[in-house]
Amino acid sequence: MKRSIWLAGLMMLTLTVEAGAAIYSYRDEHGRLFLTDSPPNRNYKIVVTSRKEREGPDSPTQATFAVSAQASAQKFMLPNDETYSRYINEAAKTHDLDPYLIKSVIKVESDFDPTVRSSKGAQGLMQLIPSTARLVGCSDAYDPRQNILGGANYLRMMLKRFDGKLDYALAAYNAGPGNVEKYQGIPPFRETQNYVRKVKHYYKQYAVNPALAKTEVRKAGKKSRVIPVVHSDLSKRLAKAYELFNNSDIEGATEAYRQILNIYPTNTQALYNLACLLDMERCYEEAIDVYNAALKQDPYLDKALYNLAVIYERLGMHKEAIDTWKHYVTVAKDEEKIVMAERFMRELRDYAALN
């Protein structure tokens, strides 16, 4: 009971401390780690130069999960490999695209969260800005079917505009066709360069035959290819595990993810979610191992890198934190997040120089 009260207090601290506040830690004789922004004595040492919210576990379905408006600026990622397969297949057939290419764009754009809105006003699964939504006839960008059909339509337009060159089309989808034409190729924007690499990474990962993920749409656009719509055993297990988490049964969810990994040891979502739960329970050493296992399967999993860097900071492992933020900068698709990570690295370097 006392541990539950202490945990609740720690969670409240995490939610209420000001964004710029430093975090201090103290490990008692029993090995328990205490974190605070108001150290009661000199035994507490600064470990985090500015507060950072951890990313949340992956939801296997969008239907029953909503992100709180009070959540971190880094919103929970909600990937689901199967929820929108029917709409993706429809859009692929309508616009003569490989469904796995559409799925890869959705993965990078929104992580399968149809409610997401970017700081630039892009909306929904394929992150359509209002002018693009109007161009492709999408009247409700938050409607999954409309958004996917509209996004696929726009992607087809970009492929046609750039003679089937997938790299150019993806860069245009992210940065606008004008910038691709201006620079006669992928623009020198870190966000866009990361974006193109990430979409192609997931395209190769998702495709039934990775060899089909070529740079020419004539080879990538296969009308006959479809994504399976029937939920798999793995999908059902992931949904059940997340339901336990959503019902605050952390112990049950942790065990459920462990069981999934006994059967599917390389499943990235189960690895990441288990690491999140271990992180939340302050089992930091094991969480580090599991986050790294998830990153071994998916080196572009930016939110795992984010959480891992935060853990390293909490443990005072500043060199490891800096190295992880460096990796994060190479995969984040949002320039604001790239700049944020660079600021975190400067803070850590400045702190190290004073100690």
Q: Which residues are catalytic?
A: 109
SS3 21: coil
Instruction: Give whole-number Cα distances, 234 to 55, 227, 238, in Å.
Output: 23, 16, 6
Distance of CA 266 to the CA centre of its chain: 18
- What single string gives the DSSP state of each residue in 63-92? TT----TTS-SSPPP---SSTTHHHHHHHH
Q: How many CB atoms lie within 10 A of CB 99?
A: 23
Q: For residues 262 and 268, give the distance between their C-alpha atoms in angstroms, rounded to a whole number.
A: 13
Of 166, 264, 148, 262, nearest to 207 by C-alpha is 166
CA torsion 111-112-118-121 (nearest 10°) is 150
Instruction: Give whole-number Cα distances, 125 to 87, 91, 117, in Å.
Output: 11, 13, 9
Query: At 26, which amino acid appears?
Result: Y
The answer to whether the CB of 241 falls within 8 A of the CB of 231 is no
Q: What is the separation, in whole angstroms, between the first and last Cα of the chain?
A: 38
Of 260, 241, 299, 235, nearest to 85 by C-alpha is 235
Of 113, 187, 205, nearest to 335 by C-alpha is 187
